[in-house]
Structure 1
Amino acid sequence: MKQVLGSCLCNRVTYACENNFSQFHLCHCTQCQKATGSAYAANLFTDVDNIKWLTGEALIMRFNVAGRSISNAFCGECGSAVPYKSLSGKALVVPAGSLDCEPNIQPQSQIFYTERAPWFDSVTVCKKFDSMPK
């Protein structure tokens, strides 16, 4: 299996893992909206041991949401999402946007869809630009 690389925004946290993701979900829960500052979190799932931290592991911060089995991990320097072990310890959750290349699978489902942002459904009809509009 091909190895893929990933990093945070400031590039101080870097990692490698095998490109053998088993699941890819877009999570619309309100906690993921808050954690990402966006409409959903795009998370890949793989074997819990499928990671090698290359740099910056000591910079990683973790937050566990009380009352729900939800966590997120982020670079303590730039705040961007990085991989973390699920609370159950059975999976490694990899934020898709942290990868430096394409994962081996496409999104399979949108979960907690009833909690989606009220404006989400209008996204498909928005104007599209290849860069910042002038």
Structure 2
Amino acid sequence: MTEPSPDTSASGRCLCGAVSFALTGRLPPVGMCHCSKCRRVSGVGSNAVLAVRRERFAWLAGQDRIQTFALSSGWSTAFCRQCGSPAPQPTPDGARMWVPAGSLDGDPDLSVSGHIHVASKPRWAVIRDDAPQFDEAP
């Protein structure tokens, strides 16, 4: 396992600890997706991710333990093969990494940038922040 560098601003891991990663620089805000696919993969009313620039992301361990599941539409999810926890994965253009916010260690100071696919949000999922809301993806 590689140790985080002194420039690390946050680190994260899966539930079993097999997959771990580090982030450098200022952390971007969290995006919340309420589409049915993200709800199914997260098991809750939305999926919370940070879109981290690729050069600010580093695998520390377990990249070989990640499994990706993709739909024919191109939507995909990545998870630890051992414990099933969501794992970081590249954005479709490869310029950033989708980092599951709940996988970060500790309680980093994060804000929510917005909510997408709010039109398909379940009634029981209540949005309580002032971040912008979009019925679909902008």
* TM norm. shorter chain > 0.5: yes
Identity of aligned residues (%): 30
**CA separation of 1:62/1:39 partners in 2, compared to 1, >3 Å: closer, same or farther?**
same
**CA separation of 1:53/1:2 partners in 2, compared to 1, >3 Å: closer, same or farther?**
closer
**CA separation of 1:19/1:103 partners in 2, compared to 1, >3 Å: closer, same or farther?**
farther
**CA separation of 1:65/1:20 partners in 2, compared to 1, >3 Å: closer, same or farther?**
farther
Q: Quote the Cα distance in structure 1 between the aligned partners of 2:63 and 2:49.
A: 20
Q: For residue 85 of structure 2, what is the amino acid of its counterpart? A: S
Aligned with 1:100 (options 102, 105, 108):
105
Give the corresponding residue for 1:132: none
1:75 aligns with 2:80: yes
Cα RMSD (Å): 1.9
Q: Quote the Cα distance in structure 1 between the aligned partners of 2:54 and 2:118.
A: 26
1:110 aligns with 2:107: no
TM-score normalised by structure 2 residue count: 0.78
Give the corresponding residue for 2:55: 49
Gaps of 5+ in 2: 1-6, 129-138
Q: Quote the Cα distance in structure 1 between the aligned partners of 2:75 and 2:109.
A: 24
Gaps of 5+ in 1: 125-134
Q: Quote the Cα distance in structure 2 between the aligned partners of 1:65 and 1:51.
A: 25
SS of 2:54's equivalent? Answer: coil
Q: Quote the Cα distance in structure 2 between the aligned partners of 1:63 and 1:44.
A: 19
Q: For residue 25 of structure 1, what is the amino acid of its counterpart? A: G
TM-score normalised by structure 1 residue count: 0.81
Runs of 4+ deviating beyond 3 Å = 102-105
Contact 2:88 2:99 in 1 (8 A): yes
Q: Which moved more, 1:38-47 or 1:17-26?
A: 17-26
SS of 2:37's equivalent? Answer: helix
Give the corresponding residue for 2:12: 6
Q: What do residues 62-119 of structure 1 show as CA deviations (whole Å, max 9, x unaligned)?
A: 122322x432111000000111101221211110000003345301111110110232
Q: For residue 119 of structure 2, what is the amino acid of its counterpart? A: T
Q: What do residues 4-47 of structure 1 show as CA deviations (whole Å, max 9, x unaligned)?
A: 11000011111111142334211101110111111110011110
Q: Quote the Cα distance in structure 2 between the aligned partners of 1:106 and 1:80.
A: 22
SS of 1:74's equivalent? Answer: strand
State the structure with bigger RCO (CA 8 A, min sep 6), 1 or 2: 1
